[in-house]
Structure 1
Amino acid sequence: MTFELDDLTIIYPEKLWLELSIQEQKKAWQLTAQKLYSHTATRWNAYLNCLCLNSFLTWLKEDPELGDNLQVWPDYNQLPSFWEVVNGTAITLGETRLVLIPSEKSNFTEFRIPQEWVDIPNWAANYYLAVQLNLDDRWLGVWGYTTHQQIRKEAKYDPMDRTYSLDQEELITDLNVMWVAREVFSPKQLEVKSLPTLSSVEVEKLLDQLGEWAVDLPTDMSFEEWAALLASDESRQHLYQRRLVNQKTNQVERDRSLVNNLSQWFDNIFEAGWQSFDAFFSSQQKTLAVQFRNQTALNEVRVKGAKLIDLGMQLGGTAVVLLIGLTSEWDEKFSIRVQLHPANEEVYLPPHLKLILVSGAGNILQEVESRCHDHFIQLKKFKSPPGKNFSIQIALGDISIKEDFVLEKLAGW
């Protein structure tokens, strides 16, 4: 069951509920897009944490007594190296440290705290806040908080994902209790075991091992080794940079493998996502298939391939069909037709959708933009000799998708 923000404030009046505007969501996405991350999962983690942090800070700064002593720990520039490896963000209010742990799970039943925030001495905090984000209904809720002492005494430890967990009922729901305790009592000394000191050789070995790590920690690495690496700002930054370099190298290799070889289309061999014209336009696509077949420009081409392109949630799930037609010419060149059509039984393309031809060197050779009530758009027919690369780019606002192609000489020429 889902609730609107107004309903939640009535049902749970003691909890903190904040609205997440579309502008706040876009701002958080843009801020995380300015930084690099090694994996889509780590970038999404960064986005959730950035949105959570910004919204909570905006609320805190409305109180002048809190805003004056408020700081992000350690600082904004180092946050990507944290979000690359762990969920959560720390802020300080004078001598008090809070850690915000966001989650987008729709059914909040337990609070899971990454072990790093509890057992790394210079990371440990006085308070840990359980934050739920509902991106669809655009609200943020703080279900409650716990303390470092309570985690030590009562939380269950899961060695599989290295987290401490408390049931929802074990959390203190009223944040006013935390603010009063902070004013009345001095922060208690946190009891955290010291970590081993790593030699430069050990650090380098761990960096090599962790550079290719995708999401989960290697099972043969102890938490103490991992924690000692993260506890050092220098080592953690080196790990972050190493992962970015490896991601870039791997991306180059993936990009090479994702180039569509159009010459193979003449043998009815298509890369993943692409299909022949007849295979793509099944019985569910009859209307679109008839529309294509009635076009004289496409009847003249020898080979046709089609692909469904999803332009993403940012555009309300808009999808289009990219169609490419090929004909081999007497001069060993290929004539190429490129069209873009609406999908999912839509009649018109969204306006301001761009279809762009890009050379192998990255130069724009052609560009056409859809208007209101365009059934399709197409590039002017162009020729390409064997061995040449080119790309077709589809762009709408800030969203851009690119398909890379290469043509090889046909067998027997």
Structure 2
Amino acid sequence: MTTNPTVFTFADSTDLILEIPSTTLSNLESQFSHPYSRYQAYLNELCLNAVLPWLQEDFSLQAKLWPSSASLASFWELVNGTAVIVDATRFILVPSENIDHSELRVPQEWVDLPTWAGDYYLAVEVAADAGYVKVWGYCTHAQLKNQGKYDAGDRTYCLDEHDIVNDMSVLAVARDLCPDEVTQAAIIPVPTLPQEQAQNLITRLSNPEIINPRLAIPFQLWGGLIEHGGWRQSLYERRLRLPEQRSALQWLRTGVSQIAEAVGWERLNLQLSAASARSVEGRQPKIILSRRLTIAGQLYELLITPQGEPDTPFWRFELRNATVGAAIPGGFKLRLLTEDLQPFPNNEDIATTAVEQLYVEVALEAGEGIVWEIEPLPENYDREIIKF
């Protein structure tokens, strides 16, 4: 995506009007379960394509999507809005076709889920036919919580135009002059859902006839479900009637699914060396699963390898530096959790000093899922569930 956005000046001098680039939109037809979510995604993509280059130009070239472009469809299927990270600051883009700027309406998920909440919320009018978007104001998370009104009907926080900063030039000045401004109010975390309850909710909400699943169950349940990246992805894929996309066994047999490839997974065939094989005739290629990760500016590899005998298999999760001969710094952690994020014995390996590798081995029942975590957090990390 290019920077140097086109900025129009034919409106009020405080308006920020950005041209929608003539880039080809994604194939939205096959990525969403219903015309409602498809159109929601269309508006969000137009908004993002116009506003992200402006953020990169005016704030930081490193401005990037959260968590990643590969995750956007699973967000837009369920909730309006997009998160962009600028250095350590999170902007939430809230698009609408409404030309009435009397209020900003922000979905509750972007306000009340700790891992989703932003620092600044940008009100964006999308004029698709005219080829531009108007960023007509912004507010902080603290303003939404302290001055906004909660509308239980559509689960949004509504802030009156009089409480919104309409001059977008003020935003850059405020960030420069007040870098320590408290932008976020306190958030009470939603409860963690038991796995069985989460699976029941996914089964229920996967029916694409439920046009707006975010309003179909109480927010405490809904928030606990979709704040978990693995469950959010699972709900999205089930609504599209896709087969299981993250089965390690299936990846080893027939190749990595397209969705898994999009986030970086690949299937590798490694020929065993003569020293590790009993004979030339017995030498067999070893199949492993690999994902490249960027952590603190360096490339690493997360490997999943089947171990043991066919009748008593177990699995090895291993983290290595992608540079041959380079180590993993002290302080790094590799951790495995159950689907509902519970620890278990020997589920973590910690580098107390620089080491060649970190690994955790685990035996799993058929159909069990594992969530992997690494500290420090990899770039574009979105929690996922690998099935076995």
Deviation at 1:218, TM superposition (A): 7.2
Q: How does 1:148-227 map to 2 (within 5 A)?
A: 148-183=141-176, 184-186=178-180, 188=182, 190-213=185-208, 214-217=210-213, 221-227=217-223
- Structure with greater contact order relative to length (CA < 8 Å, sep ≥ 6): 2
Q: Is the 8 A contact 1:212 1:246 kept in 2?
A: no
Q: Is the 8 A contact 2:29 2:38 kept in 1?
A: no
Cα distance in 1, alignment partners of residues 30 and 71 from structure 2: 11
Structure 2 counterpart of 1:36, from 20, 27, 31: 31
Partner in structure 2 of residue 237 of structure 1: 233
Cα distance in 2, alignment partners of residues 49 and 100 from structure 1: 8
Cα distance in 1, alignment partners of residues 148 and 95 from structure 2: 18
Q: Is the 8 A contact 2:90 2:120 kept in 1?
A: yes
* SS of residue matched to 1:122: coil
Partner in structure 2 of residue 119 of structure 1: 112
* SS of residue matched to 2:60: helix
Moved more, 91-100 or 189-198: 189-198
Cα distance in 2, alignment partners of residues 32 and 187 from structure 1: 40
Partner in structure 1 of residue 99 of structure 2: 106
Q: Normalising by the residue count of structure 1, what TM-score does the alignment of the two structures yield?
A: 0.53
Deviation at 1:167, TM superposition (A): 2.1
Cα distance in 2, alignment partners of residues 41 and 86 from structure 1: 11
Judged with a 3 Å threshold, the aligned counterparts in structure 2 of structure 1 residues 174 and 35 are, in CA distance, closer, same or farther, namely: farther
Q: How does 1:10-409 map to 2 (within 5 A)?
A: 10-20=10-20, 23-24=22-23, 27-28=24-25, 31-33=26-28, 36-63=31-58, 66-67=60-61, 69-183=62-176, 184-186=178-180, 188=182, 190-213=185-208, 214-217=210-213, 221-245=217-241
Q: Is the 8 A contact 1:32 1:47 kept in 2?
A: no
Mind listing any 5+ residue stretches in structure 1 that lack a counterpart?
Answer: 1-5, 248-413
Q: Is the 8 A contact 1:32 1:43 kept in 2?
A: no
Q: Normalising by the residue count of structure 2, what TM-score does the alignment of the two structures yield?
A: 0.57
Cα distance in 1, alignment partners of residues 66 and 16 from structure 2: 22
Deviation at 1:110, TM superposition (A): 1.6
> Which string of whole-angstrom CA distances, capped at 9 and with x for unpartnered residues, describes residues 49-97 of structure 1?
111111111223334x511x31100000001000000000000111100
Higher helix share: 1
Moved more, 186-195 or 124-133: 186-195
The structure number with the bigger radius of gyration is 1
Letter of the aligned partner of 1:228 in structure 2?
G
Cα distance in 2, alignment partners of residues 144 and 166 from structure 1: 11
Judged with a 3 Å threshold, the aligned counterparts in structure 2 of structure 1 residues 142 and 218 are, in CA distance, closer, same or farther, namely: closer
Deviation at 1:35, TM superposition (A): 5.2
Identity %: 39
Would you say how many aligned residue pairs link Structure 1 and Structure 2? Answer: 234
Q: Is the 8 A contact 1:132 1:142 kept in 2?
A: yes
Deviation at 1:179, TM superposition (A): 1.9
Judged with a 3 Å threshold, the aligned counterparts in structure 2 of structure 1 residues 145 and 218 are, in CA distance, closer, same or farther, namely: closer
Deviation at 1:221, TM superposition (A): 1.9
Deviation at 1:141, TM superposition (A): 0.3
* SS of residue matched to 1:207: helix
* SS of residue matched to 1:62: helix
* SS of residue matched to 2:118: coil
Q: Is the 8 A contact 2:94 2:106 kept in 1?
A: yes
Judged with a 3 Å threshold, the aligned counterparts in structure 2 of structure 1 residues 82 and 18 are, in CA distance, closer, same or farther, namely: same
Cα distance in 2, alignment partners of residues 34 and 72 from structure 1: 22
Letter of the aligned partner of 2:222 in structure 1?
W
Partner in structure 2 of residue 256 of structure 1: none
Mind listing any 5+ residue stretches in structure 2 that lack a counterpart?
Answer: 1-5, 244-388
Deviation at 1:197, TM superposition (A): 0.9
Moved more, 72-81 or 211-220: 211-220
Partner in structure 2 of residue 9 of structure 1: 9
* SS of residue matched to 1:55: helix
Provide the alpha-carbon RMSD of the alignment.
2.3
